[in-house]
């Protein structure tokens, strides 16, 4: 095959006629319980007139979620970002440096700022897009307090290697597990690793309470401290133990969570099938690569990221992104730009692109394709077909 | 009358027999719309599958609330504390000192901590319990950035005097208006004063979205910046303008807010009647005082605080608090202890009790009695009666 030159521009009109989706398909869409079931769940809230502050549904959801996820202690939050802010406060990490990944949602870096901490960006692994455990040690300084890795797209980090370096240097480990709901590694919840893990239940997540999140912790004492801190540091009517925050989840959120919990196994199963369809449909397209399932991991298929290699595919990620929109396919460039590119962090020494070559490349090439439990398999096949046809258009027979 | 001595202890058994309320009555209780109406409002959320991130109900509530309150620009938040954190960030107040009142909910001081700011506590006025504008000037240092007064219990601060001192010294003014929903001063919303005002819609507030809050600002540009900051600083798909936060209100919260808005005039009217009953029932009890309605102010009757003067009443606030619980009356000691007593702030020079004599006294004497729209007037009369009888028990004829 020979790549078209500049005089043979791509013409997608005929492709659009045959392959354009009838309705826009977005990267995520929440799977909802029946509205009637939700309203039924609300009845008790109306009877009790108890809308928030450790209500009955809140307690029930904390208990049932911990059980489902296979963890001992879990505290619900209004959203994941506030949970992560409180995670640092829980461990009294206030100031200094924390080693983290630039390839993540902005919240990961921002929560450090709110806790007076300077982020130190560490490059990622090529095969998982997670923080590269082998590069942590060279970034440790006398100011380093903790490591904040992200289980990106739900793929577990190299938890053993991270634990080893953290233990050697006396560092805390907080996992941003926003994507890792239900993920298991070597037979147990990935959330059992690290000092604390944060979950997000945002509308774009496979388990959602609209807005919402949680902290998973490892002891009863930590759980108690977190419960104080998420309620302004109030320990009892006359004692405030520190400058806490309002991180409380309401009963309305908890009600949705309880119903979502009944549906989440099916949601993950549906996503698994869609992921398999993507893997099948994309495996023979030159220049498109995707994450492989990892041995010992029970994945949740929260996202379906692909990398677009311009040289082999024919066009670059941004061109493909723009083209797909014409077909009513609306992927997202998670996570572009890197956090290290935001003006508030770009002047940090560790933000230098030369020090983050893999993160820079992945951020330039990545595109997250639509995936959610109610997505029809036929649409996934069509999206794969569109990706194939666009590729073929760029090459002459 | 002669006060009983220690050998003539109070015996409330006979009072309890005659006056104990059949059910516990708490300081606050949300007035809820019909559950069916709420479920009806949710229909659109289910159709759109749009649960948060500037949804349709969120927009509608922002618009209708601004109109109802008589302000130009308003941004909704997941809760009031996060709104106040973002208020400081909006004005780039990060570090230095802010002059505030110790007589407030912990959030007021805590949001300063999260923005690296040292609170400077200022004493309060005897007649409103609000920060005393006449004492601000002596607390200003080269480090002072702003004044953060609270419209405590919804009573407007001395906004003119505060503006005057702020303008003279080039200081910003952010009002904690958590209690001041719907309050008007000289014919206009009290929220139009200061650079920004924060509202809380917590379950204990007269207008509630379960958890929730808002920032009122004075320009379109400020509103835009606030909208970015409450969504992680994300300005568009590829631009993050600063270390924002997740402060988003969900569609579930907005749905409740829209229905609450239809009920809030009646809620305030009901509270006004109850406040009048309290004022009537308590006016002749020696040692019990309460806030008078202020000329030029349209009050919201969000709270009904009393001060207990032990010398004239017979017992002190803490004794009364404990006694009332026996009668199934559950008031709250808002705001005891003062923020300046929390271990995280008590070592500040401005936290010295000797510098805050009025705040110290009010915090020692205050008790907020139950008040909410659905409270029966007869219960208020009974509570007044109990307060009278307890007083009488302490004195011999």
- Burial of B224 (C-beta count, 10 Å sphere; 0-12/13-18/19+): middle
Nearest to A210 among B46, B51, B332 (CB): B51
First-to-last CA distance in chain B? 6
CB contact A321 to B (< 8 Å): no
Mean pLDDT score, B324-332: 97
Q: Cα distance from B301 to chain A (closest Cα, Å)?
A: 20
Q: Average pLDDT of B255-273? A: 98
- CB-based contact A258:A85 (threshold 8 Å): no
B43 touches chain A (CB under 8 A): yes
Instruction: Give pLDDT tens digits for B239-263.
Output: 999 999 999 999 999 999 999 999 9
Average pLDDT over residues B144-153: 98
Give the closest residue to B144 by CA, choosing from B165, B118, B123, B175.
B118
Find the farthest-apart pair of alpha carbons in chain B and give their distance in angstroms, rounded: 78
Residue A184: strand, helix, or coil: strand
Chain A CA closest to residue B115 = A114
pLDDT at B4: 60
For B46, counting Cβ atoms within 10 Å of its Cβ (0-12 exposed, 13-18 middle, 19+ buried), the class is: middle
pLDDT attached to residue B128: 97
Q: Do A250 and B245 touch (CB under 8 A)?
A: no
Partner residue facing A79 (CB), from B107, B237, B246:
B246
Residue of B nearest to A42 (CA): B35
Q: Give which of B29, B178, B211, B351 to mutate to test A binding, by max A Cβ within 10 Å.
A: B211
Cross-strand pairs, B100: B121, B148
Asked if A211 and B250 come within 8 Å (Cβ–Cβ), the reply is: yes
Domain residue spans of chain B:
2-30+264-396, 35-259
| B91, B146 Cβ separation under 8 angstroms | yes
Closest to A350 measured CA to CA, from A94, A89, A130, A123:
A123
Q: Would the CB atoms of B237 and A333 count as touching at under 8 Å?
A: yes
Q: What is the CATH number of domain B35-259?
A: 3.40.640.10
- Cβ B116–A113 below 8 Å, yes or no? no
Identify the band that residue B14 occupies on the pLDDT scale cut at 50, 70 and 90. confident
What's residue B256's pLDDT? 98
Residue from A392, A374, A203 nearest B248 by CA: A203
Query: Counting beta carbons within 10 angstroms of the beta carbon of residue B343, is it exposed (0 to 12), middle (13 to 18) or buried (19 or more)?
Result: exposed
pLDDT of residue A4: 61
Closest residue to A243, CB basis, from B32, B53, B113: B113
Interface of A with B in 11-30 (CB under 8 A): 29-30
Distance from CA of B48 to the nearest CA of A (A): 10
DSSP labels for A81-147? HHHHHHHHHHTT--SSEEEE-SSS-HHHHHHHHHTT-EEEE--B-TTT-SB-GGGTGGG--TTEEEE
For residue B393, the model assigns a pLDDT of 86
| Structural domain B2-30+264-396, CATH architecture | Alpha-Beta Complex (3.90)
Place of tokens 């298991």: A184
Q: Are B251 and B282 in contact (CB under 8 A)?
A: no
A246 touching chain B per CB within 8 A: yes
Is residue A78 packed enough to be buried (19+ CB in 10 Å), middle (13-18) or exposed (0-12)?
buried
Cα B213 → chain centroid: 12
> Is the confidence at residue B46, as pLDDT, over 80?
yes
pLDDT of residue B5: 55
Q: Are A251 and B210 a contacting pair at CB < 8 A? A: yes
Asked if the model's pLDDT at residue B12 lies above 90, the reply is no
* pLDDT at B397 exceeding the cut of 60: no
Spell out which residues of chain B touch residue A339, defining contact as CB-CB under 8 Å: 240
**Helix (H) or strand (E) segment spanning residue B296:** none
pLDDT digits (tens, 9 = 90+) for B342-378: 999 999 999 999 999 999 999 999 999 999 999 999 9
Closest by alpha carbon to A248, among B368, B31, B200, B122? B200
Inter-chain residue contact B110 with A245, CB threshold 8 Å: yes
Measured between beta carbons, the chain B residues lying within 8 angstroms of A348 are none
When the candidates are 3.40.50.300, 3.40.1160.10, 3.90.1150.10, 1.10.760.10, the CATH number that belongs to A2-30+263-396 is 3.90.1150.10
What is the model's pLDDT at position B6?
46
DSSP string for residues in B220-243 = HHHHHHHHHHTBTTEEETTEE-S-
- How far is B396 from A118, CA to CA, in rounded Å? 67
For the full predicted model, state whether its pTM sits above 0.90: yes
Cβ contact, residue pair A42, B49, below 8 Å: no
Cβ-defined contact of A208 to B51 (cutoff 8 Å): yes
- Note whether B263 contacts A: Cβ–Cβ < 8 A: no
Contact between B154 and B303 under an 8 Å Cβ cutoff? The reply is yes
Asked if residue B290 has pLDDT above 80, the reply is yes
ipTM of the complex: 0.95
| Predicted pLDDT at A9 | 56
- Block means of pLDDT (10 residues each) for chain A, 397 residues, are 55 88 97 98 97 97 98 98 98 97 98 98 97 98 98 98 98 98 98 98 98 98 98 96 97 98 98 98 97 96 98 96 97 97 98 98 98 98 97 74
Structure tokens at B234: 């994300």
């Amino acid at each position: 095959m020979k790549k078209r030159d500049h005089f043979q521009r791509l013409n997608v009109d005929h492709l659009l006629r045959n392959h354009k989706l009838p309705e826009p398909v977005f990267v995520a869409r929440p799977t909802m319980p029946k509205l009637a079931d939700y309203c039924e769940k609300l009845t008790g809230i109306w009877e009790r007139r108890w809308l928030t502050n450790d209500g009955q549904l809140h307690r029930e959801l904390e208990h049932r979620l911990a059980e489902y996820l296979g963890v001992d202690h879990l505290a619900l939050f209004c959203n994941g970002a506030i949970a992560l802010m409180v995670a640092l406060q829980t461990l009294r990490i206030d100031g200094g440096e924390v080693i983290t990944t630039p390839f993540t949602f902005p919240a990961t870096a921002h929560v450090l700022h709110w806790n007076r901490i300077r982020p130190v960006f560490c490059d990622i692994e090529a095969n998982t897009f997670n923080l590269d455990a082998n590069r942590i040690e060279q970034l440790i300084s006398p100011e380093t307090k903790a490591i904040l890795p992200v289980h990106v797209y739900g793929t577990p980090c190299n938890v053993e290697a991270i634990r080893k370096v953290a233990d050697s240097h006396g560092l805390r480990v907080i996992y941003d597990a926003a994507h890792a709901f239900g993920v298991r590694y070597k037979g147990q919840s990935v959330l059992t690793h690290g000092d604390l893990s944060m979950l997000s239940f945002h509308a774009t997540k496979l388990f959602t309470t609209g807005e919402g999140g949680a902290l998973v912790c490892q002891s009863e004492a930590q759980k108690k401290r977190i419960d104080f801190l998420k309620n302004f540091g109030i320990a009892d009517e006359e004692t405030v133990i520190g400058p806490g925050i309002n991180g409380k989840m309401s009963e309305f959120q908890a009600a949705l969570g309880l119903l979502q919990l009944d549906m989440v196994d099916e949601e993950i199963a549906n996503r698994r099938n869609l992921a398999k369809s993507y893997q099948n449909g994309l495996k023979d397209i030159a220049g498109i690569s995707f994450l492989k399932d990892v041995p010992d991991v029970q994945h949740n298929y929260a996202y379906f990221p692909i990398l677009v290699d311009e040289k082999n595919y024919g066009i670059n990620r941004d061109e493909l992104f723009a083209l797909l929109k014409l077909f009513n396919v609306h992927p997202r460039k998670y996570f572009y730009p890197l956090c290290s590119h935001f003006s508030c962090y770009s002047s940090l020494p560790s933000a230098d692109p030369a020090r983050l070559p893999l993160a820079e490349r992945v951020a330039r090439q990545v595109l997250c394709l639509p995936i959610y439990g109610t997505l029809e398999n036929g649409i996934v096949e069509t999206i794969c077909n569109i990706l194939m046809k666009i590729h073929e258009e760029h090459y002459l027979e």
